[in-house]
Amino acid sequence: MLRRTLNSLFRSGAQKRLLVGLLLVLSVVFFLSAMRYFQSDDSGAKPALGLMTTLPLQWSEGGIEADLAKDAKAHPAYARLQQQYDVRPIDNFDTLDSDRVDVLVLAQPRALSPAELVKLDGWVRAGGRLVVFADPALQWGSLYPLGDKRRPLFTTMLSPLFAHWGLELVLPMTGQEAITLLEIDGLTLRTQTPGEWIEKAGESTGSCQILEQRIVADCKIGQGRALLVSDADLLDTVYWEGQGVRIVTGSDEFPNLQWVEKLILDIRTGKAVSGDSVGR
């Protein structure tokens, strides 16, 4: 009788120990799986940034051979954005919703059809976040002659969209042949032939605030937002990268890219763009 009782207690204790051991193993497996999941989320995925442009940012003007060369490099502005974002070249707007880009950047893009303009406007109104660099007189150097379709567009072709949002992009006619220094948000930017935003008379289907010497327009469009910059040359390395200063300090001569990165971060996080309002 005593032996049976002791055997029963032993078996009961062993079962309990086995159950506790199994629970501990399962807990450790669950913990490690959860840590692996959260670590991949934190360190793996960058915010998605869509990019449509005629500027030689991702690809050079040297053709396929130059782009496939061992020493081929993306434009420094593009490389800088890649450090922070999953940059996705955009050819059309058919997959904007499925791609789920956090911010869409149009940098002197190609001419858009009326249907594409409607689709872009609808995407912004539905909550999309857009940054546009629109130049009225691009000075970006090119290997191709004027009129060549492979050359970046000399002037922006987005005027119908801007007019729809109650804005017009104009080119001031004074001092546009020289390098221009712009004091924006406490930074000194260097560029050439920047445009200006002005209010366009007539129906406005957006609420735009013109800021910073009329260089920036911050537009509330439906549920979305668009930041419009009246210049694209400021992305060109000849205006900001520098040579002598870079060799000595390893930093940019002018903070053009620093300002661009801040604009994209502001619209991605919903932060207001600082600066004095000069619009309505």
Per-residue pLDDT tens over the stretch 25-61: 455 445 444 444 344 344 568 999 999 999 999 876 6
Residue 145 banded pLDDT, cuts 50, 70, 90: confident
b (16+ CB within 10 A) / e for 120-143: bbebbeeebbbbbbbbbebbbeee
Mean residue pLDDT of the chain comes to 82
Task: Quote the pLDDT of residue 63.
Answer: 53
Per-residue pLDDT tens over the stretch 191-236: 999 999 999 876 677 799 999 889 999 999 999 999 999 999 999 9
| DSSP reduced 3-state for 221 | strand
CA distance 187 to 208: 23
Per-residue pLDDT tens over the stretch 95-137: 887 778 999 999 999 999 999 999 999 999 999 999 999 999 9
Q: Which helix (H) or strand (E) holds 7?
A: helix 2-43
pLDDT at 257 over 70: yes
Q: What is the reported pTM?
A: 0.79
